[in-house]
Amino acid sequence: MDALSEVLRDFRLSGVNYGRCELRHPWSIAFPQQSSLRFHFVSREPCWIHTETHGWQELHDGDLVLLPQGIAHRLASAPGVVDDSLQSCQVTKLGSNVCEVVREGTGETSTLFCGSMALGAGALNPLIALMPSIIKGCDVAGNDPIVGPLLAAMTAESAQPQMGSATVLSRMADLLVARLIRCWVNCSGASTTGWLAAIRDPHIGRVLVAMHGDPGHNWTLESLAGVAGQSRSIFAERFSAILGEGAARYLARLRMQLARELLEQSGMSVAEVATRLGYESEASFARAFKRITNVSPGVVRRSISGRTDMDFGF
């Protein structure tokens, strides 16, 4: 199995929260920057999305937008509606991670299904960073024959909700987002440098899978060259040529990225994170963390105490 297939085989999304929304015009909800992916599916318009880069964009019935990096954005029933409507919504929990959001009124009703997802495969983090800040499902549906029927199925499920509809929608959303990401990978140009080129390389790709699969292992240049099936000098030269940095530097940055995620999301102590990522002492880990991120791990852990990505419950 090639390295890209290996990464995609391990592709897993864990649902953080989902919300089925019935909102009466005029309405507007702001979504702050977060580390998880976000998506919004429009079962019934009107609905507009605003991002700093693209401004206002109209969404239509059956549209799905994916925000891979969870950038800040706003949904509204019309451009220019910016008053936060969430405070006037009734939010009802339908399960451990699904809720229903209703805003009463006399205006036209918008029906949405919104969600946040966390990656379950660390090897995909660099891939997510390469993706556009916003992707529309309709823009890639022609490249994947399953996307269109999935969107149609979600439209039907949202239009006539039954017992368990929110859970069914969340499962379809997981599959749809996974296929959108895979479709983007397959449609991306075959560049000769960068992460996508590296994961497609038969030698370097195996090394990336090994690094991301076990970042706390005591990797050396010799052991990584062995994984690549190359001599140490050839491997080091090839890795740097494709990725623009040495293997040791790449591994250190990967470890610190994972360390930040663990500190922010898992509640692990600095010592526990250091051990998990293969450092002999908390002090050596803290020095490496500050050298690469310019902040101490203790500061990161304290700054997120009591904070969650899901400020709005979905």
State the chain's mean pLDDT as an integer: 84
Domain spans in the chain, listed from the N-terminal domain onward: 11-187, 195-303
Is 194:235 a contact under the CB 8 Å cutoff?
no
- Say whether 195-303 and 11-187 share the same fold: no
- Of the chain, the percentage scoring pLDDT greater than 70 comes to 87
Residue whose C-alpha is closest to residue 172's, from 111, 125, 101, 113: 113
**Residue 242 · residue 204 · CB < 8 Å:** yes
pLDDT tens digits, residue range 216-270?
999 999 999 999 999 999 999 999 999 999 999 999 998 998 888 788 776 788 9
**Which of 134, 132, 129 has the alpha carbon at shortest distance from 257?**
129
pLDDT tens across 102-150, in order? 998 888 999 998 888 876 655 567 778 788 899 887 777 677 888 888 8
Under 8 Å between Cβ of 214 and 223: no
Summarised one tens digit per residue, pLDDT across range 27-71 is 999 999 887 889 898 988 999 999 999 999 999 988 889 998 899
CATH number of 11-187: 3.30.70.20, 3.40.50.450, 2.60.40.680, 2.60.120.280?
Answer: 2.60.120.280
CATH superfamily of 195-303: Homeodomain-like (1.10.10.60)
**What are the structure tokens assigned to 94, written together?**
């339908």
Q: What is the pLDDT of residues 170-180, one digit of tens each?
A: 788 878 887 88
Q: Which of 135, 132, 124 is nearest to 261 (CA)?
A: 124
